[in-house]
Chains A and B, each alone.
Chain A
Amino acid sequence: MSIVNLRNMEINQTGIVSSVNVSGELGRRIRDMGLTKGVAIAIQGRAPLFDPIAIRLRGFTLSLRNNEADFIKVEVKDQEIN
């Protein structure tokens, strides 16, 4: 297991949110949409210009900008190193 930045996750990769380190309006919005510590997420896709990112959690799809995803750390399974 390792901790990565949400921005750096690949499409279809899954993981568990380990921290959401932002307060104020952005932090509140992120948490209100259910992106809280311990929630399981999967990367659903990226916009044609690679930003924003679309993720699947709690049974719905959420999109957020890359610079907003930066505040979110996700625990993922280690990838096989070739």
Chain B
Amino acid sequence: MAQTSVALGGNPNSGKTTFFNALTGARQHVGNYPGVTVEKKEGFLSYKGTDIHLVDLPGTYSLTAYSQDEIVARDYLTDTKPQAIINIVDAANLERNLYFTVQLLELGIPVCISLNMIDAAKKRGMSIDDKKLSRLLGAPVIPTIARSGKGKQAVIEEVLALVGNSQNNEKFKISYGDDIDRALIDMEKIISDNQFLTEEYPIRWVGIKYLENDSQIITKGNQFNTAISDHLLEIGNQLTKHLNVTLDTYPEALIADYRYGFINAILKQDIISRVHDENKLLLSDKIDKVVTNRLFGPLIMMAVIYGLYHFTFTYSEIPVGWVGGFFEWISNFTSSHLNDGLLKSLIVSGVINGVGGVLGFVPLIMFMFFGISLIEDSGYLARVAYMLDRVFSIFGLHGNSVMAFIVSGGIAGGCAVPGVMASRTLKSPREKLATILTVPFMNCGAKLPVMALLVGAFFGKNEALMMLIITLIAWTGALLTAKLLRMTIISGPSTPFVMELPPYRLPTLKGLFIHTWERTWQYIKKAGTVILGISIVLWSLMTFPGLPDSTLAQFDAERQAIRSEVSVNITDELKKADQDNTIELSTAALLVKKALTKVDLKEAGIALKNSFAGKIGTSMEPVSKLAGFDWKTNIALVGGFAAKEIVISTLGTAYSLGEVDPDDASSLGDKLKSAPGWSPLVALSLILFTIFYAPCFVTVVAISKETGTWKWGAFSMVFNTTLAFTISLLVYQIGSFFGLLAG
């Protein structure tokens, strides 16, 4: 039997997603609508032998062509033509919610209204005559409580009944006043006579959209038949002139007025009876008095943001440790069961480290999304936007951008991958893009060891102050760059802020978990394959072409020479220690081991110089020297594209120190301090470069996925590196000229 297709629509904060979860449980799937980054949630349920395919439309207040969410919702309804719509309506906020309902009814698809959160409405002293409302709207109205699932069966039964007798459907029609109605009658005749867009849309609806100047419908109309489209536009223009003269208004405004008028006319017929005044201060408003207070508001906000940060990065440490430990174990296990050589190197350094790198972020992402969902679903996120918008809008961003900045390392030590993903809470496209492109400047946890190394070695006395300055530089750079981008390539007026401050609500645990899991799974699925591929490419860059046989033979000979001089006992001891690293070596054996390691390190250093990455580093030296970087630093920066902390280990290899533990970089610091060509000025230049240059490739992948195009991923690599080089170049050249920080 064929599936019944049903769409779920409604305002944001109406409990739509909770209702969707109540209906479908775990049987849901998240994807994207074709060609856009808007999430598409689908679910399945069976009711008395009928299979229902349910699509959760993006939560919107209206069905205009101004936002991607609205276009997606509208296109789904008109193109896929679901057999019925469940419209979730917040019972306590009926008037504005019905504005969306009216637009759904005008589309002509059968609508079942779920009068949701009826319990909250009761608590506010409201009771709603659902039967009368149903009669006046000509659509079934069922009181529900999404949280507990109350009323969901009744809704499904009504939906199936609606699908069953579709001929029963009376045409829903609002009167928009004499002037508009007369114009609409003319337009309807033209539209139906010419079958103008009638395949997809209801006749009267097309007329209304022409009067509303709806860009999407007018474009489609022009493609369909320019002459008729022009004719319809002309009728609209005549009406606009007439309304302008007689009423000092325009059709679009008048249509909205009449829609609200229609709703008011219904509600006035004793639909709602209240115990209290409509605008009585509710608990939520009382909370707001404190939470958005001029003095306490910012303090509480700082505490909440810091709490989110702490939650994401401190509590995730334990699972991050598990994931890290697990991959270390696999890595060791594989190492001990494979012979030395390219295959082993590929599997351990390329594949296992690559996959480990991807999955290493998973606990972070889960914690971050859990925290943000909690803040978002409770209604607090809207208050954050409300309080911070004044600051962020100066730079062409939105109050909500702050979350992405903080998670990325606005408080030093975050991570840009979940940071870029946190931008999902932004609904305004230009502000969202500017946020995504600038959050990678924040000092993520992987940049910190690099900073700590350089600051410790070259600015030892003022360590704490320098770290603070670095954080401020990152913020300043990010905000100014955002402004620059918003004035150039992402220019355009700021998206209207106009935003509901929803009542505070306790989020449901089920909702939080589903939400968190969905987004984490999406990350694993989408990023996994790409990141594994790039990881292997980066491994190749640092490994190939390898050393010529003659050089390898030379190093082998050196090792052989060391071994041949020692006794059999020591050779045995070393062999045993290779298999079991708990054995403590004798002093003599340790000395031999050290000598051997020294040769290995020298070999690794020369191999790195000889690799593609090394060649890139060497060939760039003439240019990079202008900012103070030698070829060794260049290789390290190339390696830093894989993950910023690799800058340290690669510098270590390049300076033939072998694998340097990022937590214990003091030896490398000392080495750099005494190395020729290094000075505090070079260190400063490198610090600035590290803040601003290309994000690590996992972030680049996240940027591409989040913006829906590789173009922006590529842009962030090229633009950020250019910006970073310019800054470092200026600082180094000016510093050298005046002889500053020469050490």
Contacts and interface: CB of A to CB of B under 8 A. Distances in A.
Interface of A: 19-20, 23, 25-34, 36-39, 42, 44-45, 47-52, 54, 56, 58-65, 68
Contacts, number: 123
Contacts of A64: 496-499
A47 B289 CA distance: 11
Nearest to B298: A48
B64 A32 contact: yes
B366 interface: no
Interface residues of B, number: 44
Contact of B498 (A33, A45, A58, A61): A33
A60 B390 contact: no
A63 B99 contact: no
Contacts of A29: 66, 496, 498
B455 interface: no
A75 B501 CA distance: 24
Contact of B256 (A31, A42, A50, A54): A31
Interface string B377-395: 0000010001101110100
B497 A63 contact: yes
Contacts of B295: 48
A63 B252 contact: no
B171 interface: no
Nearest to A30: B498
A38 B93 CA distance: 18
A20 B724 CA distance: 46
A31 B500 contact: no
B390 to A, nearest CB: 4
Interface string B37-71: 00000000000000000000000011010100000
B253 A20 contact: yes
9 contacts: A25-B495, A30-B498, A49-B387, A52-B389, A58-B93, A61-B502, A62-B498, A63-B497, A63-B498
B390 A49 contact: yes
**A-B complex: 10 closest residue pairs judged by Cβ atoms:** A31-B256, A49-B390, A32-B62, A61-B501, A29-B498, A58-B95, A29-B496, A25-B66, A26-B496, A65-B497
Contact of B96 (A45, A52, A58): A58
Contact of B496 (A20, A34, A58, A68): A68
B126 to A, nearest CB: 9
A23 B393 contact: no
Contacts of B293: 48
Contact of B64 (A28, A34, A44, A62): A28
Contacts of A49: 387, 390-391
Contacts of A25: 64, 66, 495-496
